[in-house]
Amino acid sequence: MKGIDLNLVPLLQVLLEVRNVSRAAEQLQISQPAASTGLARLRRHFDDELLLRVGRKYELTPFAQSLVPLVDETMQQIRLMSGARSHFDPTSTERAFKIVASGYSATLLIGPIRRILRREAPHVSIEFVPLGSITPEPAEFSRVDLLVAPADYGMPGSNRHLFRDSFVAIVSADNPVANDVLTLAEVANLPHVVARIGEGIRTPADLMFDQHDLKRNLVASAAGFNSLPLIIEGTDLIAIVPRMLATKAQNAGIRMMELPLEEEVYLVESMFWHPAQTNDPANTWLRSVVQRSAALLPGLFQENPNET
């Protein structure tokens, strides 16, 4: 059997991801007949259906599921090869980078990053993609240039610390407890809205109450930290959020309250990248931009972190 036509690999990757010929064609900006023809060629090459109709949707065959990490890694190598340069000139490139990050990290970093890009790379664009859009698998890095996530969440790849942030409580400015001095047990008894980061993931705020053997009065939850200030405004709710986010939200009818802790609890954010991108000039520059942007934040990580 002849080797696979490399022109079909991007189509195969998208088909394995979206599991729909029409959506794959739309994403790749090709016609649906062209996508259907490509799928037929892929089926002949692998001697496998790849996509099977189950009810009103398509599912991957077991063989197609086994191809996902292989195809992702192949696409990563193709991108590295096609984009390989002995140098990278940010002043002239029109490259579009993709960074996976939580809404909280994106909120803090977008402003400083844009200021650097205006000076150094006026034609570069950066798309921030939600953290939950990829799984913590090495092959997923073939889809993005960089990932920003908490340092202790077990993300794969090479990494470097960016910044750290402590936690504070926030309440609506008209909440009577805004002016009270509370114990941590009293804070726990107030009605809480909490951030849900991902399946089975415990935030430092969650662990803080566990370590003090306190159970919070949980009445609501939301995806990520960013929406919590808007949710609690005008309510009797309390939320535990990173300090820099709370500082940004104070002008929106929110009051910040210090937590009664002997030692502050920190959230440390790191950037992660595929090891194959370590020496890529474009990725090296992008990491420098993100690192310098983080250095402008008041919660700058105080140690001298090294790439690992």
- Lowest-pLDDT range, 52-56, 71-75, 78-82, 117-121? 78-82
158 lies in the same domain as 279: yes
AA letter at 59:
E
> pTM for the whole thing?
0.70
Mean pLDDT of the 212-223 span: 94
Mean pLDDT of the 2-31 span: 84
Q: Which residue has the higher pLDDT, 74 or 30?
A: 30
Q: Which residue has the higher pLDDT, 232 or 251?
A: 232
The number of domains in the chain is: 3
Of 259, 258, 260, 252, whose CA–CA distance to 172 is shortest? 252
65 lies in the same domain as 125: no
Q: What does the pLDDT read at residue 193?
A: 96
For residue 87, being part of any structural domain is answered with no
Q: Give the distance from CA 197 to its chain's centroid.
A: 10
Give CA–CA dist 133/122, Å, rounded. 28
Q: What does the pLDDT read at residue 17?
A: 86
Residue 200 pLDDT level (bands cut at 50, 70, 90): confident
Close Cβ partners of 172 (under 8 Å, ≥ 6 residues apart): 178, 232, 233, 234, 235, 236, 237, 253, 254, 255
Mean pLDDT of the 60-66 span: 91
Give CA–CA dist 81/86, Å, rounded. 12
Q: What is the CATH number of the domain that holds 55?
A: 1.10.10.10
For residue 140, being part of any structural domain is answered with yes
Q: What does the pLDDT read at residue 305?
A: 41
Residue 112 pLDDT level (bands cut at 50, 70, 90): very high
158 lies in the same domain as 17: no
For residue 305, being part of any structural domain is answered with no
For residue 195, being part of any structural domain is answered with yes
Structure tokens at 157: 């790849």
- Work out the percent of the chain whose per-residue pLDDT is above 90: 48
- Work out the percent of the chain whose per-residue pLDDT is above 70: 88
Mean pLDDT of the 115-123 span: 95
58 lies in the same domain as 200: no
Top mean pLDDT of 46-60, 240-254, 281-295 is at: 281-295
Q: What does the pLDDT read at residue 28?
A: 83
117 lies in the same domain as 153: yes
Q: What does the pLDDT read at residue 308?
A: 42
77 lies in the same domain as 12: yes
Question: In terms of DSSP H, where are the helices of 21-170?
Answer: 21-28, 32-46, 62-82, 103-120
For residue 307, being part of any structural domain is answered with no
Q: What does the pLDDT read at residue 135?
A: 66
Q: What does the pLDDT read at residue 240?
A: 95
Q: What does the pLDDT read at residue 304?
A: 44
Close Cβ partners of 4 (under 8 Å, ≥ 6 residues apart): 42, 45
144 lies in the same domain as 56: no
For residue 51, being part of any structural domain is answered with yes
Mean pLDDT of the 60-81 span: 80
Structure tokens at 246: 């709370």
Mean of pLDDT over the chain: 86
226 lies in the same domain as 279: no
For residue 303, being part of any structural domain is answered with no
Give CA–CA dist 204/212, Å, rounded. 12
Mean pLDDT of the 30-50 span: 91
Give CA–CA dist 143/129, Å, rounded. 11
Q: What does the pLDDT read at residue 284?
A: 92
- Lowest-pLDDT range, 3-7, 137-141, 165-169? 137-141
Q: What does the pLDDT read at residue 290?
A: 96
Of 156, 111, 167, whose CA–CA distance to 289 is shortest? 111
Whether 296 has a pLDDT exceeding 70, the answer reads yes
What residues form DSSP beta bridges with 191?
A: 217
Quote the domain boundaries for residue 288: 96-163+268-294
Residue 175 pLDDT level (bands cut at 50, 70, 90): very high
For residue 44, being part of any structural domain is answered with yes
**In 102-216, which ranges are E strands?**
125-130, 146-150, 158-172, 191-196
75 lies in the same domain as 219: no
Residue 84 pLDDT level (bands cut at 50, 70, 90): low
142 lies in the same domain as 274: yes
Q: What is the CATH number of the domain that holds 124?
A: 3.40.190.10
101 lies in the same domain as 221: no
169 lies in the same domain as 256: yes
DSSP state of 123: T
